A and B are shown apart, each in its own frame.
Chain A
């Protein structure tokens, strides 16, 4: 099944819960009407939080750049000794 159908069924399930909450008044109606907005805001906050966490703990590897430069030197030496043109454009 296409992914969009999975998403719409999740949304449909959430809507069904919301409508039943409206009907049965377990939670005060004035509060229930605002629940979708709270959900959207919560989702947005979750997204921003995940972006922030990811940014804070973004894995970096500065030592790899150094290793790469060493590899390049080694490669250029071997190649030029074996007749491959290693001049950059």
Chain B
């Protein structure tokens, strides 16, 4: 490690840390353009690439990404598409295979995750040397907008249940706005098998069990601006099944 540092210094330049931002998309024609604009706006002095993993969107998302590549450069925006909807976990794995960054950020494409928090993730990681920085909506400077009372109740109830049963060490288990050290993400993605948001829970719980250093930053979450989001009875059942699964296998 020391020799490498000296070598680089004699070369007269410092190796800049690179960040890969993986954005899985399905029918996010408008949102992907907006989110890429915002990422470039908020990460001015940072070395990064955006990897769009599109699952064969019928609405022309991939054409929009190609237009964006003309504006921002094909080396900054990578389109790594898949033929059809193949699930979130595999989308991360697919994106990861094409990522060349030292750190990997995962975020949603629907603008519920705002790129303006990216600098705070990066800063937190640099300050603490954490393996994972996860965004939390449930602390003082964080927050949610667009949830009615019922939605808040289920969210809070789910969180209390998960905290009591799993002792996860993070305040927001189902959040999917996270920064991972590259090798850590590789390790976790291959060990997790759940689907959907239970996958997000499994990732962070396994990270805690494996002893990785996890830090949190507050984020605000504005529920889906364009498009529809749903939480029904079947999601609740899936969640409970996920909790039991995590209780017995982590």
Q: Which of B137-176 contact A (CB under 8 A)?
A: 137-146, 149, 152-153, 156-157, 159-161, 163-167
B30 touches A89 (CB 8 A): yes
B153 to chain A, nearest CB (A): 6
A51 to chain B, nearest CB (A): 5
B142 touches A51 (CB 8 A): no
* Contact residues in B for A85 (Cβ distance below 8 Å): 33, 63-64, 67
By CB atoms of chain A within 10 A, which of B70, B156, B161 has the most?
A: B156
* Contact residues in A for B157 (Cβ distance below 8 Å): 51
By CB atoms of chain A within 10 A, which of B37, B64, B142 has the most?
A: B37
Partner of A64, one of B70, B220, B248: B220
B160 touches A47 (CB 8 A): yes
B203 to chain A, nearest CB (A): 15
Partner of A75, one of B33, B64, B140, B142: B33
Q: Which of A54-77 contact B (CB under 8 A)?
A: 54-55, 58-62, 64-65, 68-69, 71-72, 74-76
Partner of A59, one of B27, B138, B149, B246: B138
B64 touches A59 (CB 8 A): no
Q: Which of B36-66 contact A (CB under 8 A)?
A: 37-38, 59, 63-64
* Contact residues in A for B153 (Cβ distance below 8 Å): 51, 55
B34 touches A59 (CB 8 A): no
- Secondary structure at chain B's binding surface: helix, strand, loop or mixed? helix
Q: A55-B156, A72-B34, A75-B38 are in contact. Are A65 and B209 (CB under 8 A)?
A: no
Interface size class of B (residues with CB under 8 A): 35 or more
Q: Which single residue of chain A is at the shortest CB-CB distance from B163? A: A50
| Residue B225 at the chain A interface, CB threshold 8 Å | yes
Mark contacts of A8-31 with chain B using CB atoms, 8 A cut-off: 1 yes-contact digit, 0 otherwise: 000000000000000000000000
A14 to chain B, nearest CB (A): 15
B247 touches A7 (CB 8 A): yes
* Contact residues in A for B225 (Cβ distance below 8 Å): 68-69, 72
| Residue A78 at the chain B interface, CB threshold 8 Å | yes
Partner of A78, one of B30, B37, B221, B250: B37
Q: Which single residue of chain B is at the shortest CB-CB distance from A71? A: B38
| Residue A40 at the chain B interface, CB threshold 8 Å | no
* Contact residues in B for A50 (Cβ distance below 8 Å): 160, 163
- Give the docked Cα–Cα distance between A60 and B140 (Å): 9
Q: Which single residue of chain B is at the shortest CB-CB distance from A72? A: B34
A71 to chain B, nearest CB (A): 6
With A7-B165, A88-B30 already in contact, 4 other A-B pairs whose C-beta atoms are closer than 8 Å = A58-B138, A64-B222, A74-B37, A85-B33
- Can you list 15 pairs linking A and B with CB atoms under 8 Å apart? A51-B160, A55-B149, A55-B152, A55-B153, A55-B156, A58-B138, A59-B138, A59-B139, A59-B141, A60-B143, A61-B220, A64-B143, A64-B145, A79-B33, A84-B68
